[in-house]
Amino acid sequence: MKLPHHSTLLFIGDSITDADRKLSGEACAWEPYFGLGYGYVSKIFGWLHAAHPEAGVRVVNKGVSGNTVRELATRWEVDVLAVAPATLCVMIGINDVWRQFDSPQRPEIAVDPEEYRQTLAKLIASARTKVQSIYLASPYFIEPNRADPMRRRMDEYGAIVKELTTANGAVFVDTQAAFDRVLAHLHPMAVAWDRIHSGPVGHMIIARAFLEAFGCLPTLPSLK
């Protein structure tokens, strides 16, 4: 396992990470599930403490629903740098793209590719001296048709994340590819009604992608 023992693992992002977490963003004895929300972060917490209890990893959820990278930047100092986790996981970009499609009359609330690249690059650079490891996850759209306009745009932002990962010595977590493997067998509507906010299947897909990146899973058969 690549996560240091007795260290802090912090996730930050939008509603997918948030998943109705409590303000603390942490598990505790009387609310181990809802402190972290119902999503992939709680599933990762559950696996780590069931499979690697000796590691004693503290898991923190700093997702905020509706965030773009622009909003992420406004709270980065408090939610990331002040915490200085050993391991930082960032998944942002879905709303940056989505606002271009669901609110085309309000272009000011969307984030274009260059602003996205520059802002995310600055955030990563500011964290590099504070944390030991950074994992950057691609934004995703649960749509197998790569010619779909929103899927095509989301892939563009995913490519930016991969580029920044390489440039900063981080680890790329390809959540889009993880969804694509499952979409070879399931219709998008079976995973998420709006092709973004999924139920247990989608959150497990994301959790598995991170756990694989952490080296926390046994070898599993690939989905074909």
Whether 197 sits among the annotated catalytic residues: the reply is: yes
Q: Which of 14, 15, 96, 198 is catalytic?
A: 15
Three-state DSSP at 53 gives helix
Find out whether 197 and 16 touch, Cβ atoms under 8 Å. Answer: yes
- Strands (E) located in 78-159: 87-91, 133-137
Q: Which of 6, 187, 197, 203 is catalytic?
A: 197
Whether 194 sits among the annotated catalytic residues: the reply is: yes
Q: Which of 79, 112, 194, 198 is catalytic?
A: 194
φ/ψ of residue 69, rounded to 5: -65, -25
214 CA to centre of own chain: 14
Residue 196, token pair as written in the block:
């973004």
Counting DSSP H helices and E strands in the chain, the numbers are: 9, 5
Find out whether 72 and 118 touch, Cβ atoms under 8 Å. Answer: no
Find out whether 57 and 7 touch, Cβ atoms under 8 Å. Answer: yes
Q: Which residues contact 201 (CB under 8 A, 6 or more apart)?
A: 182, 186, 190, 191
Residue 118, token pair as written in the block:
């520059």
Active site members: 15, 194, 197
